[in-house]
Amino acid sequence: MIQATYQFTRGFLWGTATAAHQVEGGNTNNQWYVWEQAGRTKGVSGLACDWWGGRWREDFDRAAESGQKAHRLSVEWSRIQPAPDQWDEDALEHYRLMLRGLRERGMTAMVTLHHFTHPLWLDQRGAWENEEVGLHFERFVRKTVEALKEYCGLWCTINEPNFYAGLGYVTGDMPPGGGGLRLAIRVQANMARAHAAAYRTIHEIQPKARVGYALHYRPAVPRRRWFPLDAITSRLRHLGLNLSFPSAVSTGVMRTPIGRISMPEVKGTQDYFGLNYYTADTTWFDLFQPKELFTHAGFPRGADLGETGMIANIPQAFYDALRWAVRTYPNLPILITENGIDSSDDVVRRRYLAQHLHQIWRALNFNWQIKGYFHWTLVDNFEWERGWTQRFGLWALDTDTQKRTKRPSADLYAAICKSNSLSTEMVHQYCPEVFDNIFPPFEG
């Protein structure tokens, strides 16, 4: 058997990612709670992973013991500011305690300030549809960063603004449940301006902070490259989903499928680029999909799928996404802020993990400035509209008992984190079916 090791760059940041509503439990004052109670999700979050009850301690212990040096988590706006004129100092102290817990375990905290949820009082005022949302968000950011600055200097302002707008206003899979493309674009524009205001506020408080956002990048590959309508609608999908928000931050002009929006105040407001990548779509023209720019999306025949069929294991597309990020932001460090696949039996996750990390190693050989990787996720959590039907965790969760059970992928990831490498021994032990793909035999 070939024996080799792919070594990652010194200081590479290994971690996992979570989001407040998905792990804390007991969040009843945000728009997602109302969405759950209306029966729009597959089950309700309930206790989730009971982090608000203190079980973050044991999960942080698991992460630290497995060699992780960082953790990305979010704070819940509705806990910190339950009413427009009210701040909950106990909630802020709770988050301080969590961040202190990470530091005590030798782990770097990355804090996301908006991860899909906001208070009901903001929802009643139109939330991100209302141009005044930026003022509310800036106040929340100022209060939160002032409270947590001792323990965090790495901030993500907004998670997946493109998916928040797309799934909330175009497909209607997330709250508020629809509204159309034009409204989705207005929401993204408001988010971009709020991000810029937050960026400046954080740097006012912490001049040396690193601030960015996390984009869900999902490539759209036309099924029939020779067919003009497949090619055109694929490009429109790519523009609307992947390029609108980044174009605003990088150039000050938001490019959208229906025109351009000038926002010079947004240009250059990021210190790193956060990339969330899960899979790539094969797309084709569909006259009956006007809401999605007349495109239908699927996966290639025979694709290696996750448990629910919503994610395909396409590591080459991850490499292509990294290349796009490097070309778009040649002077910025890149953090992989989310990457993972649903697999309760853990079989596909192990090969997905190894194959995707191999693509990062390939990219590092070109001196691309990829500085860290946050796997989604540490422990099974509440997956938004999909509820408990998707299991992304390195540790399994029994929602009835809160018992955690380590999956083999947790051991694989621990071996990678501790050695800062991916070796033939690891691949042979955990996912031998892709050994020749990752370590191709020498042909002399």
CATH code, domain with 99: 3.20.20.80
Burial class of residue 279 in the structure, from the number of CB atoms within 10 Å of its CB (0-12 exposed, 13-18 middle, 19+ buried): buried
Cα(196)–Cα(190) distance, rounded to whole angstroms? 10
Provide the domain limits for residue 219: 10-405
- Tally helices (H) and strands (E) across the chain: 16, 17
443 pLDDT above the threshold of 70: no
Domain count, the chain: 1
Whether residue 310 lies inside any domain: the answer is: yes
Residue 28's pLDDT band (boundaries 50, 70, 90)? very high
Whether residue 423 lies inside any domain: the answer is: no
Whether residue 62 lies inside any domain: the answer is: yes
Q: Which ranges in 66-214 belong to alpha helices (H)?
A: 77-80, 89-104, 120-123, 133-148, 161-165, 181-205
Tens-place pLDDT, residues 59-77: 999 999 999 999 999 999 9
Tens-place pLDDT, residues 220-243: 988 888 878 888 888 998 999 999
Whether residue 95 lies inside any domain: the answer is: yes
151 pLDDT above the threshold of 70: yes
* Residue 147: predicted pLDDT: 98
- Other CB atoms within 10 A of residue 330 CB: 9
Whether residue 98 lies inside any domain: the answer is: yes
Tens-place pLDDT, residues 265-322: 999 999 999 999 999 999 988 888 887 778 888 999 999 999 999 999 999 999 999 9
Comparing CA positions, the residue from 135, 133, 155, 134 lying closest to residue 144 is: 155
Query: The pTM is what?
Result: 0.97
220-223 own/partner pairs: CB under 8 Å, 24+ apart: 220/280, 220/281, 220/283, 220/295, 220/297, 221/280, 221/281, 221/282, 221/283, 221/317, 222/282, 222/283, 222/284, 223/282, 223/283, 223/284, 223/298
Whether residue 432 lies inside any domain: the answer is: no
Whether residue 436 lies inside any domain: the answer is: no
Of the ranges 1-5, 107-111, 200-204, 287-291, which one carries the lowest mean pLDDT score? 287-291
Tens-place pLDDT, residues 343-399: 999 999 999 999 999 999 999 999 999 999 999 999 999 999 999 999 999 999 999
Whether residue 241 lies inside any domain: the answer is: yes
% of the chain exceeding 70 in pLDDT: 100
Tens-place pLDDT, residues 400-412: 999 999 999 999 9
* Residue 230: predicted pLDDT: 86
